[in-house]
Amino acid sequence: MLIRNETVGDIPAISRLVTEALLTLAQSTGTEASIVEKLRADSALALSLVAEEKGEAVGYLAASAARIGTQDGWALIGPLAVLPSRHRQGIGTALMAEALLRLRATSRGAALVGDPAYYGRFGFRSFPGFGVAGCPPEVVQALPFDGIEPRGELIHHPAFGLDQQV
């Protein structure tokens, strides 16, 4: 398996794979592929990683700049998506490992909204006073690279449609 940056030729496959993977998630909004398109159109994809196997895109991870409270320099990971037929084969783990390696060089930490049962294995956890309005606190997680605990609201890029501004 190869983890690499997206190319122009990947764009239709990324949209299909994100849509298909997220359909398997009960809390999916069905808008995740269009969020990626909006981030791309706004040149806001800090990372756009494709997992490729035998010439096929089987997994995808996006990251974009985010703020926590008044603190800039965070990276928001999401969406992370793996083709349903390829779940539980280590593709999500490989994408996350590469993303964290790269983000350590550019960001003060990574944050995301997702299932703690999955993201806990990468070191993500919730913190008191850290969250997103309307989300259960345990699903809003961060991995500070400098050990400093995040505090305040996790502010996504406007492409996520959460009525917030970075």
| Stretch near ligand COA under the rule CB under 6 A, chosen from 6-14, 113-121, 142-150, 153-161 | 113-121
Give the span between the Cα atoms of 24 and 18, in whole angstroms.
10
Give CA separation, 165 vs 12, 66, 129, 139, in Å: 28, 9, 19, 21
Among the listed residues 49, 75, 81, 100, the single contact to ligand COA using CB under 6 A:
81
Neighbours of 60 (CB within 10 A): 28
Could you tell me whether strands 71-82 and 109-113 are parallel, antiparallel, or unpaired per DSSP bridges? parallel
What is the footprint of ligand COA within residues 14-43 (CB under 6 A)?
Answer: 21-22, 24-25
Among the listed residues 12, 29, 90, 161, the single contact to ligand COA using CB under 6 A:
90
Among the listed residues 2, 87, 135, 137, the single contact to ligand COA using CB under 6 A:
87
Q: What are phi and psi of 49, to 5 degrees?
A: -100, 135
Our finding on whether 135 is near ligand COA (CB under 6 A) is no
Residues in the site for ligand COA, rule: CB under 6 A?
21-22, 24-25, 79-82, 87-93, 114-115, 117-118
